[in-house]
Structure 1
Amino acid sequence: MRRRHSLPLPASLIPLALVLSACGGGSAADTGATSEDGPGSGAEVTLNVGDQKGGSESLLRAAGELENLDYRIKWSTFTSGPPLLEAVNAKAVDIGGVGNTPPVFAAAAKSKISVLGATHGSSKGEAILVPKDSSLRSPAELRGKKIAVAQGSSAHFQLIASLQQAGLTPSDVQITLLQPADALAAFNSGKVDAWAVWDPYTSQVLRSGARILTSGEGIVNGLGFQVAAPAALADGAKSKAVADYLQRLQRAQDWVFKHPEEWAKVWSKETGLPYEVAFDAVKRSTGTRVTVAVDDAAVASEQKIADTFTELKLIPGKVVFKDFVDARFNRDLPPSTTPARSYGKDS
């Protein structure tokens, strides 16, 4: 009989599935939460920004980058990237940040989106996890094993790429498509042998009886994107506000790297993550991000993701990712291949 692993189930993990699904591909509803920043109703320009819990608004506020705005920001909070991009397509949101995979699926759906900003960070938080006492020691040993992953997520691509590197195909394993809350329960009960997931889930599960079989380091691109509505960019005043907003995000990301403990405290409070888990995730992945250009290398890397999902028939037809890119805000930013920051060997 196959051994059933039993791991402690942290109570705080389940709610995270509702608020920290930036990379997830499953459908989810807008939380309906809104807030505002800026000079008030007298401002001539209002930038409608899509966000996720503990995301850009929290980061900008913690870094002091929501001060001295000459435009108004209306924030709308979403549970994950896909519904945020649906709002961009519907012109309900002017701009918002997502992971590397939701733009591919939005492009496949012929959504009206423009990818115009990027960050590059460590992919150590993208991981295939197994219980600590699992006999599995390498991805090649996953043949025939059951693996949980969220469909269309960055972890989904990382799983496929890791299998390919090990000489396996998706048909060589049993892929179980589960969103994080259900995947955690399956992992905890031993119903799956491994779980492909991202930070902060990776950091939390590592503290509750798991280990990394393999990570996305050197396998996935580690990119995240700012995506805007073309209609907003066609408005001169809004386009100017977008340019300012992107620069504020860049400065805030620089602040996070220099103040990891302070940001981990804010992130912990905003999301309900234990501070230790938030700090682990900051050091492992979220604090390592560098603002980069949406250049040819980034486009080629995203095209590879699109082609992979097309081959697996998870998206319809051929996606030409460069058709959804607007490079006007690249400024003098470093190339997308710029190495991620590092907090040292233990990060």
Structure 2
Amino acid sequence: MTLSITRRRTIVAMAGALAPIACRSSAAAASPVRLSYQESSVLLQVLRNRAILEPRLQALGFTPVWSQLGHSLAELGQVDFQGDVAEAVPVMIHQKLPNLILYAAEGPSPRAAGIVVRNDGGINGVPMLNRKRVGVAKGGSSFDLLLRSLHNNGMSLADIEATYLPEAASSAAFSSGHLDAWATYDPFLSSAETDPRARLLTDGGSQGLRYDRYYMVDAGFARAHPQVVKAMFDALVEGAAWIRTHPDQATTLLSGLWQNMPLEAVRRIDSHRNYSVRAIDNTDIPTLQQIAGRYRAAGVLPMDPDVASIGIWKAA
């Protein structure tokens, strides 16, 4: 049977009118996946801005909802996927947030953490930090670097004037001369190194720091949606490969995301990072246990956080 022109036009018009409704219904049906990131989350920044992750999630009926990584325990527990964190963080938060498990690691990148000093301070070696004001974020991997550096030179926290500040506050204090040294990590480290008033005293590569970055997921979410965790892992692998094969584009992208950071500093950051994503293996938990031991000895952890019980996600 042949449709009349009028009927065909009516059907086409109805289809056109219904299409947006169908799209809206499909979008509304997509389940949100809550993900966090921080300034140093290079791979996650690439995933967000290169549309690497979103199509993978949409194919599974999910949509990403991004937020800046919080630092309180309440904020850390409000996402499904925790932004990449330095290796000391799982040790610090496990006791309060045992539901967060490891699903991927990037690194090691030991040169991405370091201690910078002022050129006019006359500090030419770690022993010369004695009685000096050293800024550091307590509990992070730059804190672990500081502990290692002091220990390797027969010193302890008691020999310095440790000033515990978040990175932005340490940066301001160091620039204004209120700190003699600053233990930090990228992108703050490389930004400080490009300042003609500062120089690198030591880095993780010289002090035995691994500086892996860990990616964490809520255990309940991982059990319910293992296909989403697999999609996230695969997206991280793809993002890392893109950075390695497109270094100039990656540098330009990251510079824009970091308030137009000078390209020289961004290239330095890229040279420090491994950009190799891997599954969690049997070397990770012992590394975290060693960090826990150093932190207990330094009085940062009041009790054993039972690092051995940190969960690990493995693809089926």
**TM-score grouping bracket, smaller chain normalisation:** 0.7 to 0.9
- Structure 1 equivalent of residue 201 of structure 2: 213
> What is the RMSD of the two structures over their aligned residues, measured on CA atoms?
2.2
**One-letter code aligned to 2:63:** I
CA–CA distance in 1 between the matches of 2:135 and 2:248? Answer: 32
251-260 vs 180-189, which moves further: 180-189
Structure 1 segments (4+ residues) deviating >6 Å: none
Of 67, 74, 78, which aligns to 1:77?
A: 67
- Structure 1 equivalent of residue 304 of structure 2: 318
Give the superposition deviation at 1:95: 4.4
- The verdict on how the C-alpha distance between 1:175 and 1:54 changes in structure 2, with shifts beyond 3 A counting, is closer
Does residue 306 of structure 2 align to residue 282 of structure 1? no
| CA contact 2:44–2:236 (8 Å) conserved in 1 | no
Secondary structure at the aligned position of 1:77 is classed as strand
Higher helix share: 2
Does residue 50 of structure 2 align to residue 60 of structure 1? no
- The verdict on how the C-alpha distance between 1:242 and 1:221 changes in structure 2, with shifts beyond 3 A counting, is same
| CA contact 1:264–1:275 (8 Å) conserved in 2 | no
Of 259, 264, 268, which aligns to 2:255?
A: 268
For 1:238-249, list aligned pairs within 5 A.
Answer: 238-249=225-236
150-159 vs 272-281, which moves further: 272-281
- Structure 1 equivalent of residue 106 of structure 2: 119
**One-letter code aligned to 2:176:** S
CA–CA distance in 2 between the matches of 1:79 and 1:48? Answer: 11
Of 286, 290, 301, which aligns to 1:300?
A: 286
- Structure 2 equivalent of residue 258 of structure 1: 245
**One-letter code aligned to 1:290:** S
- Structure 1 equivalent of residue 136 of structure 2: 149
Rg (Cα) greater in structure:
2
CA–CA distance in 2 between the matches of 1:57 and 1:167? Answer: 38
Q: Alignment identity in percent?
A: 21
| CA contact 1:295–1:327 (8 Å) conserved in 2 | no
- Structure 2 equivalent of residue 135 of structure 1: 122
**One-letter code aligned to 1:266:** L
Query: So what's the TM-score if we normalise by structure 1?
Result: 0.75
**One-letter code aligned to 1:226:** Y
- Structure 2 equivalent of residue 191 of structure 1: 178
In the alignment, structure 1 segments of 5+ residues that lack a partner are 1-38, 332-347
114-123 vs 65-74, which moves further: 65-74
Does residue 223 of structure 2 align to residue 234 of structure 1? yes
Give the superposition deviation at 1:200: 1.1
Cα deviation code 1:155-187 (max 9, x no counterpart): 111001111011111111111111222212322
- The verdict on how the C-alpha distance between 1:95 and 1:147 changes in structure 2, with shifts beyond 3 A counting, is closer
- The verdict on how the C-alpha distance between 1:273 and 1:321 changes in structure 2, with shifts beyond 3 A counting, is farther
Secondary structure at the aligned position of 1:133 is classed as helix
**One-letter code aligned to 1:77:** S
CA–CA distance in 1 between the matches of 2:130 and 2:54? Answer: 53
- The verdict on how the C-alpha distance between 1:307 and 1:183 changes in structure 2, with shifts beyond 3 A counting, is same
**One-letter code aligned to 2:37:** D
| CA contact 2:40–2:187 (8 Å) conserved in 1 | no
Give the superposition deviation at 1:312: 2.0
Give the superposition deviation at 1:116: 1.7
| CA contact 2:112–2:211 (8 Å) conserved in 1 | no
Secondary structure at the aligned position of 2:135 is classed as strand
Secondary structure at the aligned position of 2:241 is classed as helix
- The verdict on how the C-alpha distance between 1:241 and 1:205 changes in structure 2, with shifts beyond 3 A counting, is same
CA–CA distance in 1 between the matches of 2:39 and 2:175? Answer: 25
Cα deviation code 1:250-296 (max 9, x no counterpart): 111121122122112111212214242222212223xx221123222
Give the superposition deviation at 1:234: 1.9
Give the superposition deviation at 1:145: 1.6
Give the superposition deviation at 1:318: 0.2
**One-letter code aligned to 1:108:** Q
- The verdict on how the C-alpha distance between 1:99 and 1:73 changes in structure 2, with shifts beyond 3 A counting, is farther
For 1:157-168, list aligned pairs within 5 A.
Answer: 157-168=144-155
| CA contact 2:37–2:67 (8 Å) conserved in 1 | yes
In the alignment, structure 2 segments of 5+ residues that lack a partner are 1-25
| CA contact 1:151–1:178 (8 Å) conserved in 2 | yes
**One-letter code aligned to 1:281:** I
